[in-house]
Chains A and B, each alone.
Chain A
Amino acid sequence: MPTFSLKINGQNQTVDTEPQTPLLWVIREHLGLMGTKFGCGISQCGACTVHVDGHAMKACSLPVSAMANGQEIITIEGLSEDGSHPLQKAWIKAQVPQCGYCQSGQIMQAATLLNTNPNPTREEILDHMRGNLCRCGTYMRILVAIQEAAKASQGQTLNND
């Protein structure tokens, strides 16, 4: 079985698995980083969203072999040290999660928007978040939390990846 070296949350990790193994299984089952979730496996729900070189990507659809070229992979565990990312704070303030299962993905997806667009409009937020499903129906609060986090950042991009 081939070995792959990955850079996840600033740490180098090696895993033995088949080249086609989705990054999602590597992150979760090989490395034990359980904040990134499995929802559909086909890029439809966004529960598995992580950052790859600053872009929000769906880990269920990225083969590990394509992720071992020095890319910086960030998971929810690496978004902030102590849950203090402005979006995480805004998420708590707006009391967004219900079952919580989709929320890591939602937050990771939202983070890349504020990284590039500090003052998104409502439409820009909705378009950016379109790939992330929430069965519990927390969308109203997701919108509020992103707007709040944008306001709190006062026009600064949130570049802590």
Chain B
Amino acid sequence: MMNATPSDRKSSTLSRRQFLATAGGITITITAYGLAPSMGLSQKEGKRKAEDKQLTVWVRLEPNGQLTIYNPAAEMGQGSMTALPVILAEELDADWSKVRIENAPIEPDVYGLDRGDHKIMLTVGSWSVKGYFNSLRQAGAQARYVLLNSVANHWQVPLSELKTDAGLVTHQKSGRQVSYGEITSFIKIPASIPEIPEEQLKRPDQFRLIGSVLPRYDIPAKVDGSALFAMDVQVPGMLYGVIERGTIHGSQPTLQNEQAIRSLEGIVELVMLEYGVGIVATSLEKALNAKKRIKIQWSEDVKAVGHSSQEAFALYEKMANEDQSGEILTEKGNVSESLKTAAKTYSADYKNDYVYHAQMEPLNAIASVAADGMSAEIWAGTQAPGSVADTIAEALQIDPSRVTFHQHFLGGGLGRRSNHDYIIEAARLSKAVSKPVKVLWTREDDLRYGMYRPMSLQRLQASVDASGSLTGLSHCVVGDGGGLLTSGANNEFYAIPHQHLEVRAVENGIRLKHWRAVGHGPNKFAIESFIDEIATGQGIDPYAFRRTLMKESPRALQTLEKAAEMAQWNTPPKEGRARGIAFGERSGSLCTGICEISLDREKGKIRVHHFWSAVDAGIVVQPDNVVAQMEGGILMGMSSVLSESITINQGKVQQSNFHDYPLLRITDIPERIDIAMIPSEEPPQGIGEASLPVVAGAIANAFAALTGKRLRHLPFTPDRVLEALKG
């Protein structure tokens, strides 16, 4: 569900490297040594030498056997920088200890994900492993072909008699073998490389690297402080830029004390933007000092001023009551009929506040726009490297080929970094002073001028027939944000004959964006809570109730049964504790989560003691990383479910930093998180967002099991918990 996907570069992109197209549609290069960038991993990369051979666009081989594989995705913590090269190395039959990883050049035509009529370099929606799996297997097989073909010619033996094994080519008949590195001395890169047919690729039972536990490539640099994030880049002659933004989205500034600010020491330029005032100074502290002193009058004739989030829920409720339906997204069977004829009906409203990304590295970028304004160099960490050149070219009114972009590690993406607003700012400030400028957002900027996961209200209604079967489910989502609101609201894994999904739209003038798992967070909360409410109403165990609903979805059912087995669902929890269960699917992965909680009834504080989760993500490329992503999703889920809330009062964002927007701290982690992966030979699916959507439902359902009360408004802050207990 990527409704606000940034436009990416189409196939007209100018290539900085020289590529030869081949019959198979895969390109190879034989000329471009020394041009692939080596960003992110500081200066530790090896130097390229003339003896190095570029096997294909994806792989470079050195005489000592060192292989360099290009990573096409942004690395923001999800680990695909390692997982993607593993896929290629598997088919290449590489010796993993000799693999080095570099970021791929920003050339979507070559390194992009196939999106039908064009290719893009965009890391969102947990696409990477899923989307690149087939093409990287092919790329690995083709690089292996280049090696085998050279050896076959060199030894004058049929290619079919050659075998490979972890960095070696062997010819059994003659007992000869040669290492990949040695092949560079006689290698011939063919002018065209055939497409390797699927049946010649490895079968899952032949995988050596895929599915084994390999350490992540980026980790050593992330424990000694040498990993380079964009924030860490310094460019000679660089100035510093900060921007004072309002607390009302869309509000326009009028600067009140320009003279006073300009006369501060070290201030180089003030840049008027539509939504703020940019300050360029000789040092960061000088820029921040001026930002503190700046006086701005903010226009109040903007949409957001009419919006107060906690009052908006009353309006949303009224909208849900109206007879007129909104935009209908799913209509299966006839829900209104099933509600009319039901033996029993259920209805409940669920709500969720705005939440903020809070990626740990505040937004920042460096731009160096040439004095003539006709070219630009950019350093940033972005989920959408493939569209930086076009976006900056448009902002500066120059040709995209004149934009050079350097990608860096992302200190968290979470959906926020697929928008280029912060990079455009750096370009605009740099252009104003014709010098390189590092633009840094303070945490307050990042939070208040954030792009939030939208607040929403969800009305669910259900019909149950005389036999106790769930026959119809109607789901009405009210809110602002279009597709951001509705991802995850469909129930393809529950056999419910009559289903209706609609969205009733409002506009609040608040900046909104994809946030890890997008609409799945709120929607799975509502659906999974509601399923539990129905099960309880029917006097059926919520696990047993879901088992019946999943009768036509064996893979989903397997995750449910596995999680129940892990959590020993059939045994009573300890005194004072209760368990809750929830299911969700996201980016193709199926996931069941169960948690065990207790409650401080005085303080209204929920404590999660244990979280179990079973996931079917298809073929698992990097099992330990899947566990890490599942753990991370559960903890970020707990954070958002238990404490995160952005509130807006007459357009003003009420929070500003981590003291009033608290994130989960280590003191609140469960005693254990247990993850099981269902073995599978199906294609791999996205894993970065798989576990987060089930957390809210699992906790709400455990709370209901413990107290008999429902929590129907995210987050479950102590105030709301105490109120629910009273109700």
Q: Which residues of A contact B (CB under 8 A)?
A: 17-18, 20-22, 25, 28-29, 32-42, 44-45, 47, 75-77, 79-80, 82-83, 88, 91-92, 95-104, 107, 126-127, 129-130, 132-143
Contact between chains at A103 and B222 (CB < 8 Å)? yes
B227 at the interface (CB under 8 A from A): yes
Q: CB-CB contacts of B650-689 with A at 8 A, as 1s and 0s?
A: 0000000111000111110100010000000000000000
Given contacts A44-B657, A132-B666, A136-B636, contact A91 B223 (CB under 8 A): yes
CA distance A22 to B201 in the complex (A): 57
CA distance A33 to B224 in the complex (A): 12
Closest to B444 in A: A41
Write the nearest CB–CB distance from B520 to chain A, whole angstroms. 17
Which residues on B sit within 8 Å (CB–CB) of A33? 225
Number of B residues with CB within 8 Å of any CB on chain A: 62
Choice from A88, A104, A142 contacting B666 with Cβ under 8 Å: A142
CA distance A97 to B263 in the complex (A): 44
B409 at the interface (CB under 8 A from A): yes
Contact between chains at B443 and A41 (CB < 8 Å)? yes
Contact between chains at B666 and A137 (CB < 8 Å)? no
Contact between chains at B624 and A100 (CB < 8 Å)? no
Which residues on B sit within 8 Å (CB–CB) of A45? 360, 658
Write the nearest CB–CB distance from B9 to chain A, whole angstroms. 25
Q: CB-CB contacts of B391-413 with A at 8 A, as 1s and 0s?
A: 00000000000000000011111
CA distance A130 to B362 in the complex (A): 21
Contact between chains at B360 and A47 (CB < 8 Å)? yes
Name 17 extra pairs, CB < 8 A, besides A98-B629, A103-B223, A140-B669: A20-B285, A29-B283, A37-B229, A40-B443, A80-B224, A88-B223, A92-B219, A92-B223, A98-B632, A99-B413, A100-B77, A100-B221, A101-B229, A101-B361, A101-B411, A135-B414, A137-B633
Contact between chains at A126 and B76 (CB < 8 Å)? no
Q: CB-CB contacts of B17-31 with A at 8 A, as 1s and 0s?
A: 000000000000000
Contact between chains at B220 and A92 (CB < 8 Å)? yes
Contact between chains at A140 and B631 (CB < 8 Å)? yes
Contact between chains at B666 and A139 (CB < 8 Å)? yes
Given contacts A41-B443, A130-B665, contact A95 B222 (CB under 8 A): no
Which residues on A sit within 8 Å (CB–CB) of B78? 98
Q: CB-CB contacts of B183-227 with A at 8 A, as 1s and 0s?
A: 000000000000000000000000000000001101111111111
Closest to A102 in B: B360
Contact between chains at A95 and B224 (CB < 8 Å)? no
CA distance A36 to B229 in the complex (A): 11
B231 at the interface (CB under 8 A from A): yes
Contact between chains at B285 and A136 (CB < 8 Å)? no
Q: Which of B594-622 contact A (CB under 8 A)?
A: none
Contact between chains at A95 and B666 (CB < 8 Å)? no
B246 at the interface (CB under 8 A from A): no
CA distance A89 to B434 in the complex (A): 45
Given contacts A83-B220, A137-B632, contact A36 B225 (CB under 8 A): yes
Which residues on B sit within 8 Å (CB–CB) of A95? 215-216, 219, 624-625, 628
Closest to B662 in A: A44
Which residues on B sit within 8 Å (CB–CB) of A88? 223-224
A–B pairs, 19, beta carbons within 8 Å: A25-B284, A29-B240, A37-B229, A83-B224, A92-B220, A99-B77, A99-B359, A99-B360, A99-B361, A99-B411, A100-B221, A100-B411, A101-B412, A102-B360, A130-B666, A130-B667, A137-B636, A141-B628, A143-B666
CA distance A148 to B628 in the complex (A): 18
Contact between chains at A17 and B285 (CB < 8 Å)? yes
CA distance A137 to B640 in the complex (A): 12
Choice from A28, A32, A98 contacting B628 with Cβ under 8 Å: A98
Choice from B229, B440, B639, B669 contacting A143 with Cβ under 8 Å: B669
Choice from A28, A29, A42 contacting B659 with Cβ under 8 Å: A42
